[in-house]
Structure 1
Amino acid sequence: MPPKKLSSLPTKERTLFGRLIQEYESKKHKQGLKTADAILKKFPDHGETLCMKGLLLASVNRREEGIELAKKGVRFDLTSFICWHALGILNRMDKNYEEAIKCYGQALRIEGGGNLNLLRESAFMHLQLRDYPPLVDKRLTLLKMQPHVRSNWVGLAVAHHLAGNHEEAARVLTGYQDVMRDIPKRNYEHSEILLYHASILQEMNEHVKAEQFLEANKARILDTKAYSEILAQSLAKQGKVEEAEKIWRGLIDRNPECKAYFVGLLSVRGIDLESRSDPGKSDEALALFAEIQEKHPRSTAAKRLSLVFARGEEFHKLASAYLRNGLTKGIPSIYSDLKSLYQDDAKREAIEVIAESLRSEWSPKVEEGTDATDPPSSYMWCLYYLAQHYSQQPGKVERALQYINSAISHSPTQPELHMIKARVLKRGGDLQGASFAMSDARLLDGQDRYLNSKAAKYLLRIDEVEEAVKTVGLFTKPDAPDPVSDLNEMQALWYLVEEAESHVRKGETGLALKRLHQVDRVFQEVYDDQLDFHSYCLRKMTMRAYVSTIRFEDDLRSHPQYLRAALDLIRIHLDLFDRPSSSVDGEGDKGGKNGEAAALSEEEKKKLAKKAKKAELRAAAASATGGDKKKSNAADAKASGNNDEEEVPPPLEDKDPMGEELLKKTEADPLGEAEKFLGVLMRMAGRRVETWTAAFEVWYRRNNWVGCLSALNRVKALSADHPDLNEMIVRIKRVDLSNLSQPAKSVVEKGLKGLVEPEEKSLEVVAVEGMQRSPASAEHVLGSAKALFTLRGAEAKRDVLELVLGLTREEVGCSLKTLIKAREFLKNKVKAAEEEIQRFDQEGSKVFPLADVFKRHEELKEYRRVKLEERDGWNVGREEEQE
């Protein structure tokens, strides 16, 4: 018996199918499923009903089952546009936009190409995929079908604009303004379209047309601020200095704290922030700022920008007044505000002199009868500033610590002071002490979520993951399965990345992969969320913000947190490739079930098993509580006759809580998984040198020598003095090309000749020339040590040890970060003996006496015990005060 079409269904079932459509559109999913089952009971092969049931199942969080059912329905009725439309919607819900487009296209062919809903949804899918030519075609078709709908005109203009065809976009908007009549005088949507049109003309560098357009439509543009900004920019580009300056001054009068307006005013006079090296331009800028300050004496922006151009005695005068005002008012962010000036050594030294003089002036006087004109807090905020100032200076961390301890003695209950103490200790390498200091700040203000988050971050940096979870759990939803799941839902990137790196340090590869993949999922969700705005912004006519959002989404994965997570993932994949048995021998996943027997003692195994059992019991209790609550909510909804609660899908179960399945999948092809993230970085972060050093490492293991040469050339172009460049050159020039075909071999040999100049230079010279070219750079010394070890292996061990140990001399001025890298190199690559590592630690601790990395485990354990005792005494003291 052939499957039944809607037209061939009996009258009763046709009525039921119409009701089924209405129930889906009104989101009565449970009722809709019952109606679909009633039809399928008599006609189980009815394709359209099967597809509608698939839609309803997907809406109640049974998406996989719904897609399979819809595919089955399509097979039963290949000529129904309803079936193809339903399958397209399901693919869109599943974020499978390519398949959704195919389904919509098939539905349009069956329907005849005149279905407005299908055309609109297809256009949105093409825009989601940035497939602009078919997007323009769909938008043009919609405009021809409904020329009276203004969103069709604007949609076509946006399509042309995003496709890079600005002239066509402007022409469409001109046609829209000619066609649309009887628009109210004060219409916000029309005002936004006019401003959008002007912005397109500005992007086309048609500044004369933009000016004329704005002047002609001035009465209809309601956003006067945006109007003035675009007009000022267009006038400035035409060289109409006086007119543009007048507008910028009017904008400054309107908002004297907007730095962008000051920058615009300076640009009219041919001055930018890089012109501070030109005395003439600097003097002109200072005179301009002085003039504005006479009119707006409270303008902080004018005062701050003056510091960019001032120099010598003028800078000392202005900076002294600015810093005194900020510290007197107790502005905590004053250091962050002035930090960018530290690029100029003369200005940094001048600020240091000013701050020290203010500290001496405000220090508590011992003589009787001394009157203090400034509030007592000024001295504390000055110490607060100086602590931050010295913590960033090489070799002055201990001095910074003295200042912040003095400030805490002055005002022990100020959370900001303890927070800065934590940062000072962190920069000195004392991560344990930093974590305790940040926890002190949190305990002083238990209702501050920022302090809570910072305390959790510092706990993760000392690998106290469980304590960090408890800490952040104070501010997460109480009904969430666990705090981490709630943070993942809230897209807390900082937490996910920090916890992942903690798991890497602990050898818990599965959990590290899980957290980093959650970061990737967050960015994918942000990208997918724009789908809702394609229709919303066309309705609201917020075109400028919409185009800005689309361009932001295009560069979404260039975000620093994504770059950090992707590089961490690539490093993990490379490590899995280099040590494929890591998850079996206990080196890779010590915290999970993989390799635990090899990594833990019997007593530790029992503790871990007991902890896991407790976690399972807690999860089961939470699940039971959630189930009871759900039943109660459903009962309440039923009693009140409201079925909305019943329609809310339950949260998805985490089928891989420890990341074990993800680890197995990654181990199957670690380089293939690494290349997925590498491809994203090359598209989105191609200007970052880290992207191409990672590309070199991946392609080197792939024996992709052409790719390695390409990556090296990009590294040279971005950073010709990169510390690891010579080591990579040594590695690539020592590869065996005998297995390559003759054409490939010729290409690689030609590329290798261009890496070193002159060509006859030996690899020994290449290995050490970085150190010779930059003798004062510790990073280049370490790079040369790596290159020598790569070139000569164990034979170079003595020379390498001498070079690396030399980094610990105080006169070298090596940073803590570089010393940590050097220690890892000695331990993991050189395989230095324990005595040699201890010697390095002893020398390193002389340069950075606070650093945990150079301390023995017993020292850290004792240090932690002392800190905990201090905390207990502090808590007892607080309880006594409260009593």
Structure 2
Amino acid sequence: MPPKKELPAKERGLFKRLIQEYETKKYKLGLKTADTILKKFPEAGETLCMKGLILATMNQRAEGIELARKGVRHDIGSFLAWHCLGILCRMEKNWEEAVKCYGMALRIEGGNNVNLQREMSYLHMQQRNYPALIDVRLALLKLQPHLRLSWVGLAVAHHLAGSLDEALRIISGLTDTFRDTPPRSFELSEIHLYRAQILFELGRHADVVTFLQGPANKAVYDKKASKLLIARAYAAEGSSDKAAEELEQLLRWNAEDLGVIRDWLKAKGVETAPSSSDGVAKAATALRELSTKFPKSGAAKRVALVYLQGDDFRDQAETYISAALQKGVPSIFADIVALYVDDKKRIAVEEIVERRRLEWAPAKDAGDQQEPSAYLWSLYFLAQHYSKTGHVERGLAYVDSAIAHSPTMPELHMMRARVLKRGGSLHSAASAMEDARLLDGQDRFLNCKAAKYLLRIDDVKGATEVVSLFTKPDAPSPTFDLIEMQAFWYMAEEADAHARSGNLALALKRLTQIDRTFQEIYDDQLDFHSYCMRKLTLRSYIDMVRFEDQLRSHPAYFRAALSAVKLLCQLHDKPDGDSRASGSNGHLTEEQRKDAKKAKKAELKAAEDAKKATAKPKDTKKTDEDDVPPPPPDEDPDGVQLLADTRKKPLEAAKIYLLTLQERAERRVETWLATFEVALRSNDWLVAARAVSHAHKLQSNHPQLHKQIVQLRRKVPDLTSAPEPVKEAIGAVFASVLPDEVTLEAFTTAYLQRATSAAQKLGAAQALHALDRTAEAVTLIQTLTHAESKTDLTTALAAREELRLLNADVSAREAFDAEARKRFPHADMFKAHDTLKSEEAERQAQRKFWEPAQQDGDADPSVPAGHAPPTQN
């Protein structure tokens, strides 16, 4: 390694000042100082690297990294140059290059630089490179054996690497050396609990109890965590009675902890879903004991509803629900709805609330109503109940009655919007949600719900205007601010709206931004590797690392990834297809370019006005942050370039999403159905066969799976010349799902005979289409709207789309819509164009009635349009 190049004394002084200016965030002064040195010594490597570091901090990263690399070439023997380049690579999230740079810096420095070693450990942790992490942590322990942090860091490294015995040996040795600790030492308490957690994960449950009930008990101050760990250790070793005693102590502290109550029932031998009479009797006995010991516990009463049956359930449910309705608990239905998986309990709940509604209803010849609020909340509950069970008309009747009773409650208008949405009337639902929002303009939740309902009717512009009321005024756009705030719901809904409108560029842009946001969340854990170690929040740190490892199993990512795969398959099927935002070559059309230009000018003007409004006075003192420019603008805000690049290899992009889904959501059948679609288009028959096999094991009667099996059998080529392992694998799949002796026609006929739902019949129709039996498929789809079929709205809409894909006659589609209107009278998709226009005109008239009422001083501004003020009963 060549020696480090030294500067003259004067320039060395300037260089020290340069480092000080960087550390104090005086970046502009730092650039001037660096230029002063470089004017005389243009090949000063360390100065070039420091200048590059400052430029990167000022959002000029490309130029900064180039300068740093140039500086390293000029002064390859300087550890500072390598350190600067490592920091820049870390800023770019290029962890591998950062590790290499830090490694070179350590080699030059001799390996005794504690700061470099510590930063190396964080980078290895970020990459989950546990063997290297253990080596670095061991080196830090040798450098600083007197620090607890060094021992704890090595123990955590072994713990995460799976070496639990070694982690226990290290942490036990550390706790045994504690002397003269303060009376209340949080650090010692956390280390004791962390040691107990390692013992528990090792399966040494008796040692957990002995340790936490021994001398360590006095040093542990998180008593809840200690007792919970002791209870679970007792339960794991079979001491159920002792586990129940510990859990009862926790319930004395907090009787509303559902998790502890469930653990207590498990310790009492109560099954999660008792099927036998003995199991039900044991559950009833345990629940009576629980209610006797904790009579005020609402959580215990709620858990009892899961286990009780028959008259016992009715009595308990009536007490629980009636008390909540009388108190005016809006979330009571959300609390109860999980019980609806049992039809008997659902019917019982309906009868209970209906009876209570009649009891609380105002009588015509009575004076003051005894339970006015309870009556209102019973209407609210029943509206939700009938909406959930598919009785849209009854749900609307109850919610309209509730609105007539109390027209100023936003919750009622929200419920009306939800009932209409479930009935398929998305435009009316958006209007009802706007009514709710206007009743309380300062409620962010109502604002977000109104924007979501606008996106459901593809009104992106209206949704943007609504959310702009709560976004930063100085942000480039409301959407930019929501993306910065990681609002997954908005990005996903806007992507779906753009996809339905044909704007594939912006749809792909939003879905890509969701993926990038998840990557940012993963990258942001870098700071916690140091913070959690310093604060010794070891148990929370372990939980955080394990959560980050499963980050992309989040429902928001699952939904976005499936949407992205579907969109990318669409790009493959129609590579030259036009979209609303892009032409066949991925560029804006002339008319769209003019509209985009106008929108861009309006956006820039709004941003400039907001900047002027929030500008500081001229005499405001300048701060260090003034040297940092704002983030660079998005060079592809409309996603046009992204779409053009993706069109070249859409299936390759889809495979990246699928690899993540196969790793993080392998138990979801949708993962393998999407995998098949991509593999089929890629002619990757082995992957397609394996996808079918996985899906068949998860849900063998899935409608889409049946169609895919038919497609695979029809399209798979002759495998005579294929490698033997490939033939065996595909043959094994066919043997399990569709043997050779069964024809595709017989397979589809048998599936149709077994079909018990409308969705399965639709899957059979899709299979018939794949077999080129289009006429039969159309006939089968048309039967889905008959009175005897139990078709839900989602399946009906999918069937309507399938008719379009089948190129069915206009008369057939009109007949389908006519029959569907009888089943789903509120659904917009089945209504005639004139009907939709008249409904829109009616909504506009109601909105006009609303606006003057807001300005009329004598009118009640809280009464929404189309609703009479409440009458006195």
What is the TM-score with the length of structure 1 in the denominator?
0.94
Aligned residue in 1 for 2:657: 677
Could you say if the C-alpha distance between residues 882 and 681 of structure 1 is closer, same or farther in structure 2, counting changes exceeding 3 Å? farther
Q: Give distance in 2, aligned partners of 1:872 and 1:852.
A: 23
Structure 1 residues 592 and 532, CA gap change in structure 2 (3 angstroms): farther
Instruction: Kindly state the Cα deviation for residue 757 of structure 1 after the two structures are TM-superposed.
Output: 4.7
Q: How does 1:64-213 map to 2 (within 5 A)?
A: 64-213=62-211
Question: By how many angstroms is 1:859 displaced?
Answer: 2.1
Does 1:845 find its partner at 2:829? no
* CA separation of 1:840 and 1:281: change in aligned 2, threshold 3 A: same
Structure 1 SS opposite 2:17: helix
In structure 2, do the counterparts of structure 1 residues 789 and 588 end up closer, same or farther at CA, with 3 Å as the change threshold? farther
> Which stretch shifts more, 866-875 or 571-580?
866-875
Task: Tell me, yes or no, if the aligned pair for 1:51 and 1:73 is still in contact at 8 Å.
Answer: yes
Q: Counterpart of 2:708?
A: 728
Residue of structure 2 in register with 1:807 after alignment: 784
Which of 351, 356, 359 is the equivalent residue of 1:358?
Answer: 356
Give 1:188 deviation, angstroms.
0.4
2:799 partner amino acid: A
Report what 1:537 is aligned to: 532
Partner of 1:488: 483
CA distance in 2 between partners of 1:234 and 1:333 (Å): 35
Q: Which residue of 2 aligns with 1:621?
A: 605
Q: For residues 362 and 87 of structure 1, what CA distance do their matches in structure 2 show?
A: 74
2:449 is matched with 454
Alignment check: 8 A CA contact 1:768 1:788 kept = no
Change (3 A) 1:547 1:738: same
1:308-330 C-alpha deviation (Å, 9 max, x unpaired)? 11111111111111111111111
Letter in 2 for 1:359: R
Question: Retained in 1: the 8 A contact 2:175–2:191?
Answer: no
Q: Is the 8 A contact 1:196 1:544 kept in 2?
A: yes
Gaps of 5+ in 1: 598-604
- Per-residue CA deviation, residues 315-355 of structure 1 (Å, 9 max, x unaligned), is 11111111111111111100010011111111111111111
1:507–1:590: 8 Å Cα contact kept in structure 2?
no
Q: Is the CA contact (8 Å cut-off) linking 1:4 and 1:43 kept in structure 2?
A: no
Matched to 1:37, the amino acid is: D
Match of 1:59 in 2: 57
Query: Does residue 705 of structure 2 align to residue 716 of structure 1?
Result: no
Q: Does 1:750 align with 2:748?
A: no
After TM superposition, list the pairs within 5 Å mapping 1:243-282 onto structure 2: 243-275=242-274, 277-282=275-280
The residue identity in structure 2 corresponding to 1:855 is K
Q: 1:714 to 1:466 in 2, by over 3 A?
A: same
**Distance (whole Å) between structure 1 residues aligned to residue 651 and residue 449 of structure 2:** 35
- Ranked by relative contact order (alpha carbons within 8 Å, sequence separation 6 or more), the top structure is 2
1:478 aligned onto 2:473 = yes
1:34-68 per-residue CA deviation (whole Å, 9 max, x = no partner) reads 22111111111111111111111111111111111
Q: What is the identity percentage for the equivalent residue pairs of Structure 1 and Structure 2?
A: 48
Q: Which moved more, 1:278-287 or 1:570-579?
A: 278-287
Deviations 1:564-594 (A, max 9, x none): 11111111110000000013xx467489984
Q: Report the Cα distance in structure 1 between the residues aligned to 2:165 and 2:758, rounded to whole angstroms.
A: 54
1:819 offset after TM fit, Å?
1.1
Bigger shift: residues 302-311 or 587-596: 587-596
C-alpha displacement of 1:381: 0.8
Query: Hey, what's the Cα distance between the residues in 2 that align with 1:322 and 1:591?
Result: 61
Change (3 A) 1:627 1:344: closer
Matched residue type, 1:784: A
> Which one-letter code corresponds to 1:810 in the other structure?
A
Deviation, 1:725, is: 1.5
3-state SS of paired residue (2:737): coil
CA apart distance, 1:645: 3.2
2:644 to 664, 673, 690: 664
Find the aligned partners of 2:737 and 2:521 in 1 and give their Cα distance: 44
Matched, 1:654 2:654: no
Conserved in 1, the CA contact under 8 Å of 2:586 and 2:644? Answer: no
**Matched residues in 1 for 2:595 and 2:616: separation?**
31
Q: Which residue of 2 aligns with 1:644?
A: 624
Q: CA deviation at 1:27?
A: 2.5
Supply the AA of the counterpart residue of 2:376.
M
CA distance in 2, matches of 1:574, 1:853: 25
Alpha carbons 2:576, 2:585 under 8 Å: kept: no
Q: Distance in 2 between matches of 1:204 and 1:58?
A: 46
Instruction: Select the residue among 769, 772, 782 that pairs with 2:750.
Output: 769
Q: Is the 8 A contact 1:582 1:588 kept in 2?
A: no
Q: CA deviation at 1:4?
A: 11
Where do 5+ consecutive residues of structure 2 fail to align?
860-873
Determine helix, strand or coil for the equivalent of 1:845: helix
Distance of aligned partners of 1:410 and 1:218 in 2 relative to their CA distance in 1, 3 Å threshold: same
What do residues 406-443 of structure 1 show as CA deviations (whole Å, max 9, x unaligned)?
Answer: 11111111111110111111111110111111111111
SS of residue in 1 equivalent to 2:273 = helix
Q: How many residues align?
A: 857
What SS is found at the alignment partner of 1:494? helix
Partner of 1:422: 417
Q: Equivalences for 1:552-563 in 2 at 5 Å?
A: 552-563=547-558
Of residues 655, 658, 682 in structure 2, which corresponds to 1:702? 682
Task: Name the CA distance, whole Å, in 2 between partners of 1:544 and 1:475.
Answer: 37
Residue 602 of structure 1 corresponds to none
Match of 1:517, SS? helix
**Does the CA contact (< 8 Å) of 1:324 and 1:358 recur in 2?**
yes
Cα 1:738–1:281 shift into 2, 3 Å: closer
Q: Deviations over 1:80-125 (max 9, x none)?
A: 2211111111011011111111111222222222221121111111
1:521 paired residue number: 516
Q: 1 CA distance for matches of 2:5 and 2:715?
A: 71
Distance in 1 between residues matched to 2:406 and 2:757, nearest whole Å: 41
Root-mean-square deviation (Å): 2.2
Query: C-alpha displacement at 1:624, in angstroms?
Result: 4.2
* Other-structure match for 2:796: 819
**What is the Cα deviation at residue 496 of structure 1?**
0.7
Q: 1:9: which partner in 2? A: 7
CA contact (8 A) 1:508 1:590 kept: no
SS in 1 for 2:531: helix
Superposition deviation, residue 456 in structure 1: 0.5
- Where 2:131 maps in the other structure, the secondary structure is helix
Separation in 2, partners of 1:470, 1:628: 21
- Contact kept? 1:473, 1:483, Cα under 8 Å: yes
Q: Does 1:331 align with 2:315?
A: no
Equivalence for 1:601 = none
Aligned partners of 2:477 and 2:607 also within 8 Å: no
SS at match of 1:408: helix
Instruction: Report SS of the residue matched to 1:734.
Output: helix
In 1, the alpha carbon distance for the partners of 2:658 and 2:598 equals: 40
Q: Aligned pair in 2 of structure 1 residues 318, 694: CA closer, same or farther (>3 Å)?
A: same
Deviation, 1:797, is 1.8
Q: 1:454 to 1:407 in 2, by over 3 A?
A: same
Farther-moved stretch of structure 1 (234-243 vs 62-71): 234-243
1:441 matches 2:436: yes
TM-score by length of 2: 0.95
Structure 2 counterpart of 1:512, from 499, 507, 518: 507
Match of 1:405 among 400, 405, 428: 400
2:16 to 10, 18, 22: 18
Report if aligned partners of 1:770, 1:783 keep a CA contact under 8 Å in 2: no
Gap change, CA 1:879 and 1:273, over 3 Å in 2: farther
Q: Which is further off, 190-199 or 753-762?
A: 753-762
CA distance in 2 between partners of 1:623 and 1:239 (Å): 65
